[in-house]
Structure 1
Amino acid sequence: MTYYESTGHLLLTPVDRDAGTRVPRLRELALGERADPELDAFARRIADTVGAPHAGVNFLGEERQFFAGLHHGGGPDDAGAPAPEARGYPARVLARDHGYCPYVVVRRRALVLEDVRDFARFAGNAVVDENGVRSYLGAPLTDRRGIVLGTVCAADGVPRRWGTEGLGTIKALAAELVDRIHRREDTGGW
């Protein structure tokens, strides 16, 4: 279903009806409130695995997104561009209307955007102009209770052909991280 603002404009960020369930679950798991070195390492692994300069482990609250795991690097595609920190992307905290992870969470499905400018709904997102994001790959982190906690994701400043291989890879990484989260819940540690 498509939702509109009172002004009649199409909302770029989908309505998140599950935030009220997700937020207490994130608190219970002690996720989404602080940076986590283990999740930073996992984000780096995502970036290395898919060959992207930016990657994250993102948990969504009611008003914001929090990248408990974050990796930003450079590479040949970034030659001459300002450093990610100077562009403000990726940042640990983003508003809910920035980026594409909210779509993944609400849809409960992986999302592949090889060139965000090819899709009117996604091209107008703030991360395109403000932060130079041109491609995105993300998958939901769905726990054993069926709650989508957040995402694992990768982004690049140039269009990318993620393809079905990239889709399969990001979904496998999401499943691996959910297994780790469950082990952490069961044993009290990573």
Structure 2
Amino acid sequence: MNDTAPQPADSAGQGPRHGVDRTTGRHVIARLAGPEHDHTVRAVVDQLSGEQSAVDSIVEDAVSDPERLESVERLGRFDDTRNPTLDRVAVLVAEALGTPMAAVSIVYPDRQVLAGSNASDEVQPRVAPLEMSICKFTVASREPLVVDDTRAHPMLSDHPVVQSGAVLAYAGIPLLDSKGYVAGTLCTWDTRPRHWSSGQVQILNDLADVARHRLLTDPRNV
């Protein structure tokens, strides 16, 4: 992703807690989430705050950025009503990649909402607390997150949905608006580890462009 996109400050003009500005925080999360799982960065983060708290702080700050939230609020609310077009995008993702679950997620400071999904609300609840979200890491880094086995990933292995076995492989693409803010992701996941091929990731990127257009260009005219 383009590193020149805006990195707005919060209302007090400060970056995340622990003295890490948003741009640096985004790169930290991207390095931790990336395919090489940068253990050096992880060790530094752990030394700064002990275990997960610095990562949580960086993610919380990115997700709670007031200007990002202004962009998200303009999309309207999907807590009670899913978008049929985004449902269809999620169905296409699941069919093309052979995954049981796919969704267009929107990430708020306190929750994750599925604006579109290939599954019913009974199978996959539309709204979940933020602590149950993996998409929040994609929002924080503004980079794709593609993980073959979440149990072996240093940032995700202790995550509640990984521990429960609900998400053992994950692939998510950030949905950026014209100002560079990330509303959420187009994501897919499996209940077993799996290898994501380059062709599958490309398909996910292509369908993310469709989801981005439908969600961000004119979210009410779909």
User: Shared topology, TM-score over 0.5?
Assistant: yes
Over 3 Å counting, the alpha-carbon distance change for 1:131 and 1:40 in structure 2 is farther
Pairwise CA RMSD of aligned residues?
2.5
- Of 66, 88, 91 in structure 1, the residue corresponding to residue 125 of structure 2 is 91
Map Cα deviations across residues 39-87 of structure 1 (whole Å, 9 max, x no partner).
22221111112111000000011111101111239xxxxxxxxxx83xx
- Of 147, 151, 154 in structure 2, the residue corresponding to residue 113 of structure 1 is 147
Q: Is the 8 A contact 2:63 2:136 kept in 1?
A: no
Equivalences for residues 21-170 of structure 1 within 5 A: 21-33=67-79, 34-72=81-119, 85=123, 90-170=124-204
Aligned length: 174
Partner letter of residue 211 of structure 2? L
User: What is the TM-score of this pair, normalised by structure 2?
Assistant: 0.69
Partner of 1:8: 50
How far 1:177 moved relative to its partner? 1.5
Over 3 Å counting, the alpha-carbon distance change for 1:183 and 1:17 in structure 2 is closer
Q: Is the 8 A contact 1:26 1:32 kept in 2?
A: no
Aligned mates of 1:136, 1:182 — CA distance in 2:
23
SS at match of 2:180: coil
Q: Is the 8 A contact 1:141 1:148 kept in 2?
A: yes
Over 3 Å counting, the alpha-carbon distance change for 1:183 and 1:103 in structure 2 is closer
| Residue segments in structure 2 that go unaligned for 5+ positions in a row | 1-24, 29-44
